Amino acid sequence: MAPPLREFHVLAKPAGAACNLGCTYCFFLSKENLYPKDSFLMDDATLESYLRQLMDSSPGPQVEVSWQGGEPMLRGLDFYRRAVALAEQYRKPHQKLQHTMQTNATLVDDEWAAFFRENNFLVGVSFDGPQALHDLYRVDRKRQGSFEQVLRGWNCLRRHDVEVNVLCTVHAGNADHPLEVYRFFRDELQAQYIQLIPIVERGTMQTIRFANQGWGGLKGKDRPLYRQQGSVASARSVPSDKFGAFLIAIFEEWVKRDVSRVFVNTFDVALGSWLGQHNSCVVSPTCGASLALEHNGDVYSCDHFVEPEHKLGNLKETSLQTLVGSERQRRFGNAKSDTLPQYCKDCPVLFACYGECPRNRFIEAPNGEPGLNYLCAGYKAFFTHIDAPMKTMAALLRQGRYADEIMVAAAAAQAAAASA
């Protein structure tokens, strides 16, 4: 009897590491070194094999077909027309498809936007805040800011009523401006869904100089393959304490006026933790269910670990289901728990964090124990700060009520303070 299918998610990279931008902090640009003679374009045979196997291997009724890069739009619109048709062809009667793409949006035009809308794509757009903050690191190959092109793409998507969200990286350049960033997304972009992703670039004393030069400005032999190795963080990495303060500042505004109006992924995931749920691999006890697919069919344990030692195989040689369920992948996922420092195990907010992503676990705990998360101090401050309102919202939901009722109490308290 075949083993039961396992829930998993794949980020497919149809143009590999190729990108039309040269963002300073984007170490994924260095992954081109894994395939020095390739065109980085997924061919039709790989596309067909991937989508057929994805449908065959997915246990649940919802199947997410997710495209990322590099810049996935470089693969061209006809490729995605074929992808949508193939996904529909191989979809089982009980399966419902959700197509998603993460893009820098600089290539979006009316034809692309109409296609996204027609096929109900969820499109994530990379934005780092208002222009002055966005253009610090999100630059093109000539080192010019990309804000105006991204905004044009965003507006085109909105004009065509495409479902969109914002992915904002938090780094040394924007970490001191949390409310400016949040209010820009909420008020000017009218974004309802926001992801906040910390930038942490690590290296050894020998390799950190490459990161500090900026990945987008390096080419060929001058841009070594980035690996999750070393205990030194780049100058662009967000400091742990500032990351915590960034989240706290936005949370304080959000919890008073935007609950159920603006969905901030970090806050939604945290609320799940207070309800005893693990809605993201980042805060789950183990991981290993989010894999990466390269343009040639190579499958890696995780999007953050596209490195030779974490290559599971190629889906044209070994089935996707076999790779997902392999002992090697189970060991990768369980290592998150197996290597958790005792300092974390004794932490009162362990349930909300579980050591966060293994890629960031490269500093020492206060007792000298290795494997503490670089962002530990910031996360601990944030989770401690939100404990009371999270308990309130969790209690409301358990009673069959709505989390946004917490804003009524906040408004009453504010009014009482103003009249005192």
Burial (0-12, 13-18, 19+ Cβ within 10 Å), 371: middle
Residue type, 326: S
Q: Which of the residues 303, 338, 346, 387 is marked catalytic?
A: 303
How far from each other are the two terminal CA atoms of the chain, in whole angstroms? Answer: 71
Q: Is position 303 annotated as part of the catalytic site?
A: yes
Distance of CA 91 to the CA centre of its chain: 26
Distance between CA atoms of residues 341 and 350, nearest Å = 11
Burial (0-12, 13-18, 19+ Cβ within 10 Å), 20: middle
For the chain, the C-alpha Rg in angstroms (whole number) is 21
Distance between CA atoms of residues 165 and 62, nearest Å = 20
The token pair at 268 is 């939604």
List of residues 6+ apart from 381 with CB closer than 8 A: 241, 244, 245, 248
Distance between CA atoms of residues 234 and 213, nearest Å = 9
Distance between CA atoms of residues 24 and 312, nearest Å = 29
Distance between CA atoms of residues 250 and 17, nearest Å = 32
Residue type, 43: D
Beta pairing, strands 163-170 & 122-126: parallel
Beta pairing, strands 96-103 & 62-67: parallel
**Which residues on adjacent β-strands are paired with residue 102?**
124
Distance between CA atoms of residues 292 and 301, nearest Å = 7
For 199, 231, 234, 368, 386, the CA distances from 205, given in Å and listed in that order, are 19, 8, 11, 20, 36
Distance between CA atoms of residues 353 and 107, nearest Å = 36
Active site residues: 303
